[in-house]
Each structure stands twice: as structure tokens, then as C-alpha cells.
């Protein structure tokens, strides 16, 4: 009689242990899956750092478009021949004509020229629209000549509305301005005549 009772207790204990182990196992899985999931980058995070492909087929001469890359505005400007001439006119007026002191990223070697653009597409300027002074976003002032808050011999470019820093049509800061450096030029490449990839070039992703 006692043996039967002990067997019944042992059987009940065994059932309880199995149930507890299974429940614990499920609990372990439940806690591990969210943790592992949290290690994978979110779609938002991947999008924030991933290269951005831009179609510029509708970007007419003299126009600018803005896209987001890594949470920053990036400008693409289709400069006219007249605008390129204005860049050369500004050479003696800018503080760092050859970008010897870059802002937050090195100037890509293929943009190490007067126009700060790829030689095969010298009309297209790709620049990060963040002022090197305090991070404001400059506004376009492409028209030449006298304008409010600009000199009478203004060659065309960009004006930072926060503290008055000015940049030419290659994103180079003019002398004696609060901004200490030129606008950043990100790594980029053309995958077709009308498609630009920002944040990637022949060397890989930035």
C-alpha cells in the first residue's frame, strides 16, 4: 500500500517537473527571441546609414533637389555653364579653395578639383547641406548681384540664415565668415547618366 502511494507521489512529482521544465523552456525562448531580435538593425537604422539612389533625370540646369542621407540633407545641383564660371570667379574670395581642411568627412579624391565634383559630371554638385558653423541648413541664393544680406558682387551660392555664413556654388565658404570650413562632399557615384548613388563609390560604402 505504501509502495503504491510512493509511486503515485513520484509519478505526480515527475509530471510536475516535466511541466515546469517545459514551461521554463518556453519562457527561455520567449526571452531570448526578443533579445536576439534587438541585436538586428531596424529598417529605419539601415535606411539611415545605407546608400541612397537618386534619379536626377528631371533635374534641369540651374535647379537643385534635396534628399536625406544619414539624417542629413544632401543637395544635388545641376550647375549651368554660367554657374561654373561663377565658381572660378569665387576662387580668390573663398577661405579654403582646395578644401585642405574638410569639415566632418574627407573630400573624395575624385572631387579634389575646382568644381568639387566628378570630372565626367562636373556640372553636378553633390554636397551635404549642413553649415560648418553650428549645423544650420543654408538656403540657395543662385542669383548673382546685390541682394539682402549679401554683397553687391555676389556671384551666386548659398546663405546660412542663422549667422550669415556664405558659400559659393561649389560649397566653399567665403572668407571672414563664422563658418570655418567648406560644406562636406559625400562619397558618391553615377551608376547611369541620370542615377546617382550617395554614400557609395567604387571603393564601397562610405
pLDDT for position 17: 43
- Whose cell is 519562457? That residue is 27
Asked if residue 73 and residue 19 are part of one domain, the reply reads: no
Asked if residue 11 and residue 92 are part of one domain, the reply reads: no
Asked if residue 104 and residue 2 are part of one domain, the reply reads: no
pLDDT tens for 58-114 read 999 999 999 999 999 999 999 999 999 999 999 999 999 999 999 999 999 999 999
Asked if residue 158 and residue 105 are part of one domain, the reply reads: yes
Q: Is the pLDDT of residue 19 over 60?
A: no
Asked if residue 68 and residue 21 are part of one domain, the reply reads: no
Asked if residue 15 and residue 99 are part of one domain, the reply reads: no
Asked if residue 60 and residue 26 are part of one domain, the reply reads: no
CATH number, domain of 65, equals 2.102.10.10
Distance CA 206, CA 201 (A): 8
136-149 in b/e form (b: 16+ CB < 10 A) is: ebbebbbebeeeee
When divided into structural domains, the chain yields a total of 2
CA distances from 190 to 162, 171, 193 (A): 33, 20, 7
Give Cβ neighbours of residue 123 (< 8 Å, ≥ 6 apart). Answer: 61, 78, 79, 80, 81, 84, 117
Asked if residue 98 and residue 1 are part of one domain, the reply reads: no
Structural domain boundaries, residue 114:
47-205
Amino acid at each position: 500500500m505504501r509502495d503504491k502511494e510512493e509511486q503515485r507521489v513520484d509519478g505526480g512529482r515527475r509530471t510536475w517537473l516535466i511541466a515546469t521544465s517545459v514551461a521554463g523552456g518556453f519562457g527561455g525562448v520567449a526571452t531570448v527571441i526578443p533579445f536576439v531580435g534587438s541585436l538586428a538593425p531596424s529598417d529605419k537604422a539601415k535606411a539611415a546609414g545605407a546608400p541612397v539612389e537618386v534619379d536626377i533625370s528631371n533635374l534641369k540646369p540651374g535647379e537643385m533637389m534635396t534628399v536625406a542621407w544619414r539624417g542629413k540633407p544632401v543637395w544635388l545641383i545641376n550647375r549651368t555653364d554660367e554657374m561654373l564660371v561663377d565658381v572660378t570667379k569665387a576662387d580668390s574670395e573663398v577661405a579654403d579653395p582646395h578644401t585642405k581642411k574638410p569639415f566632418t568627412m574627407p573630400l573624395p579624391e575624385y572631387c579634389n578639383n575646382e568644381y568639387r565634383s566628378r570630372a565626367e559630371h562636373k556640372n553636378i554638385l553633390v554636397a551635404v547641406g549642413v553649415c560648418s558653423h553650428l549645423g544650420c541648413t543654408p538656403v540657395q541664393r543662385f542669383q548673382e548681384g546685390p541682394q539682402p544680406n549679401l554683397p553687391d558682387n555676389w556671384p551666386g551660392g548659398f546663405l546660412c540664415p542663422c549667422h550669415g555664413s556664405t558659400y559659393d556654388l561649389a560649397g566653399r565658404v567665403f572668407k571672414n565668415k563664422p563658418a570655418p570650413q567648406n560644406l562636406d562632399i559625400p562619397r558618391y557615384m553615377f551608376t547611369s547618366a541620370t542615377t546617382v548613388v550617395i554614400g557609395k563609390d567604387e571603393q564601397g560604402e562610405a
